[in-house]
Amino acid sequence: MNLIGNVIWLIFGGFLVFLEYMIAGLAMCITIIGIPFGIQCFKIGILALFPFGRQVREVPGATGCLSTIFNIIWILIGGIWIALTHLIFGILLAITIIGLPFAKQHFKLMSLSFTPFGKDVY
């Protein structure tokens, strides 16, 4: 079932979302300061490529207060807009019964794209 969901996801926009995250990650990795943010874009992009069958979990105390500071900076430089985009697409897909599994994946991506530091994808 995860394979079918991932294939349909790729056909209907998942690959474009993946490319957007990869381009943003490469752009952020140009500067030394942006490397941690670029790595998070790569992490979200890989999840956006194949979201079915994967889970986002918090890593307790992995980086301490540094992850909180990075999450605040992330939210200020665009994380809130990315999360709002996933929220809107999730709500639009949740209107139809067929779109419910895809809405669930957008909500998963929304939670990760809002605060990616201190979370891991399994």
Give pLDDT tens digits for 52-104: 999 888 887 666 788 889 999 999 988 898 899 899 989 998 998 899 999 99
What is the mean predicted confidence (pLDDT) over 13-32? Answer: 91
pLDDT value, residue 26: 95
What is the mean predicted confidence (pLDDT) over 24-50? Answer: 92
Q: Where are the beta strands (DSSP E) in the chain?
A: 56-58, 119-121
Domain definitions of the chain by residue range: 2-121
Give bridge partners of residue 120 from the DSSP assignment: 57
pLDDT value, residue 58: 85
Cα–Cα distances in Å, from 65 out to 60, 68, 69, 114?
11, 5, 6, 17
- Torsion angle of alpha carbons 51, 53, 58, 60, nearest 10°? -140
Give yes or no for residue 49 having a pLDDT over 70.
yes
pLDDT value, residue 78: 85
Q: Chain-wide mean pLDDT for the chain?
A: 90
pLDDT value, residue 62: 61
79 within 8 A of 112, measured Cβ to Cβ: no
